[in-house]
Structure 1
Amino acid sequence: MSDSARTTTPFSLDAYLERIGWEGGRRPDTATLRGVQLAHMRAIPFENLDALGGRAPSLDLSDLMAKLVHGRRRGGYCYEHNTLFAAALEALGVRVTRLTARVVVGADRFEDRPRTHMALLAELPGDPRPHLADVGFGAIGSLLEPVPLTADTEFHDAGRRHRLVHAPRRGPLETWVLQAHVAGGWQAQYAFTLEPFEPSDYEMINWHIATNPRSPFSRRPYVQRLTPDTHLLLDGDRLTVTRTDDGTVTERKLSDETEARRALAEEFGIDAPAGLTLLR
């Protein structure tokens, strides 16, 4: 696709808001920012089925609208979600800076993890505090609502607990770390700086994550869906359901391809592409 075509791809705010079920205000304020992010998280699942099939998903807005908005039976992973979300926020009058982050869940050293996650910095008119906004982090420690870019302050976002802290600085830019309170303690989720990134940067990262044979997203299905009551995760052949109210976790193993496709359709609202092998 030519550069000129990419700059004129259609985005319909009305269609997007209908897809996520948002009937609230459209002013560029905190209430709208929080409400739209939560609605998006609960409406559009996280999934890596294109990458599992050996193809890097398109990040062109017209393709994202077709797949995530008009398609209704598919989702996407972080670059797809946050590219679409950024377009929606900008249509609402929010200034957006696109960021990249190192996913550091379980890492001993942050520097050992490459920048492979896309996140957003949202600035609201008249509000001196930018917010970290993110609809594409496929983990139980993900933000459900944006949080102000403020260090060492605990935030409660739709029942979850998060905070931002600073990591020791290794360069001219401050390193921020998003932490989530899970399993009884604070756990680092991802680390980022405020350096802006461009669509061309995500095109390369997206291709690497989708097609590198060492990438977890190219080797097994990884699917997440949020409801007001549960967090559902399909990781390989394991389906895990975590209750929101008390944290109760139930897990079962999917026995074969038929059961995996049924789980995607019934539990996640996803129609797996024909010919795709889910369990390997």
Structure 2
Amino acid sequence: MPDSTRTTTPFDLDAYLGRIGWEGERRPDAATLRGVHLAHLRAVPFENLDALGGTAPSLDLADLTAKLVHGRRRGGYCYEHNTLFAAALEALGLRVTRLAARVVVGADRFEDRPRTHMALLAEIPGDPRPYLADVGFGAVGSLLEPVPLTADTEFHDAGRRHRLVHAPRSGPLEMWVLESYQGREGASDGDWVAQYAFTLEPFEQPDYEVINWHIATNPRSPFSRRPYAQFLTPDGHVLLDGDRFTATGDDGTVTERKLTDEDEVRRLLAGDFGIDVPEGLVLLG
């Protein structure tokens, strides 16, 4: 397991905001939080190539800055994205609580899924409502903008529809569930689909070091077995899962195709996702 020793390199907010193309205000307010959140998703792809190559990616802030900010043609998965984003929010003057969630898409029982996803709770000075923020959930049901931590209220975040609900559980802490509305625009037959469940218990960096190592190196982890990438495009969302490519339009239309070989996967990652594959990495083993 990687050493959990952290560096003390100051966070380079200017470089980060330049990487995501944010030229707006730098105030600790809701508008800045929403704008920076969406800009991050439009600039930095989700991908698991380090884990696919057998390496747990470093969560050291200096290493994350080198890879996701200065690297330009790489992305990362949830621990990388949200560790970097949390540092940016704190540099902007927000208070951030790091959370651990259970990804429950397709689960019959929430308790059957381990806490393997990192999410954030952001607090704005003077605003009594904390916001759920998450730039690292690699799915079409992910948040595009932070939403207030309020139950049973539908939010429209940059065109997507989400809500937070409570789920029954034993124990002293409430279980929150992020749900995404899945369906074609204007259709009446969509469904609310649970994405992940979480409590408000704070998690610390050593916790994510352990989870990160497990997800990256466990041979049963989906991230260690096949390429996985997703990216927010100007008119929708693209997903690579193994040799399957899926494009989802903003209107809910979905197109899928099977990729033929390693070269096609590499061209797709370079073109549609803006990701340069590390030299020597085998994508379709």
Deviations 1:182-216 (A, max 9, x none): 13110000000000000000000000000000000
1:234 aligns with 2:240: yes
Alignment map for 1:107-118 (pairs within 5 Å) = 107-118=107-118
Aligned to 1:90: 90
- In the alignment, the residues of structure 2 paired with residue 155 and residue 170 of structure 1 have an alpha-carbon distance, to the nearest angstrom, of 28
Q: Where does residue 140 of structure 2 map in the other structure?
A: 140
Normalised by the length of structure 1, the TM-score is: 0.97
Cα deviation for residue 7 of structure 1 reads 4.5
Q: Which amino acid aligns with 1:173?
A: L
In structure 2, distance between residues paired with 1:69 and 1:279:
27
Deviations 1:115-138 (A, max 9, x none): 000000000000000000000000
Show structure 1 runs of 4+ deviating over 4 A.
none
Superposed, 1:26-41 pairs within 5 Å as 26-41=26-41
2:264 aligned partner: 259
Letter in 1 for 2:224: S
Contact 1:135 1:143 (C-alpha < 8 Å) held by counterparts: yes
* 1:65-104 → structure 2 map (5 Å cutoff): 65-104=65-104
Q: Which 10-residue stretch deviates more, 226-235 or 76-85? A: 226-235
Matching residue of 2:151: 151
Q: For this pair of structures, how many residues does the alignment match? A: 278
**In structure 1, what is the equivalent of residue 221 of structure 2?**
215
Aligned equivalent of 2:275: 270
SS class of match (1:6): coil
Distance 1:193 1:236 in 2: 32
In structure 2, what is the equivalent of residue 18 of structure 1? 18
For the pair 1:127 / 2:127, whether they are aligned, the reply is: yes
The answer on 1:205 being equivalent to 2:211 is yes
Q: Does 1:163 align with 2:163?
A: yes
Distance 1:70 1:92 in 2: 20
Report the 3-state secondary structure (helix = DSSP H, G, I; strand = E; otherwise coil) of the residue aligned with 1:266. helix
Identity among equivalent pairs (%) = 82
Secondary structure of the residue that 2:80 maps to in structure 1? helix
What CA deviation, in whole Å up to 9, does each residue of 1:218-246 have, x standing for no partner?
001110010231200000001111111x2
Take 2:168 and 2:257, find their aligned partners in 1: how far apart are those partners? 40
How far apart are the structure 1 equivalents of 2:64 and 2:57? 9
Q: 2:253: which partner in 1?
A: 248
Matches of 1:238 and 1:278, distance apart in 2: 12
8 Å CA contact 1:210–1:217 kept in 2: the answer is yes
| Residue correspondence of structure 1 range 42-57 to structure 2 within 5 A | 42-57=42-57
Matched-pair contact (CA < 8 Å) for 2:7–2:60: no
CA–CA separation in structure 1 for the residues paired with 2:123 and 2:12: 21
Q: Give 2:186's aligned residue.
A: none
Mark the runs of 5 or more structure 2 residues left unpaired by the alignment: 184-189
* TM-score of the superposed pair, with normalisation by structure 2: 0.96
- Work out the CA distance in 1 between the residues paired with 2:3 and 2:144: 35
Alpha-carbon RMSD across the aligned residues, in angstroms, is: 1.1
- Tell me how far 1:251 sits from its aligned partner: 1.3
For residue 190 of structure 1, what is the aligned residue in structure 2? 196
Shift of 1:169: 2.5
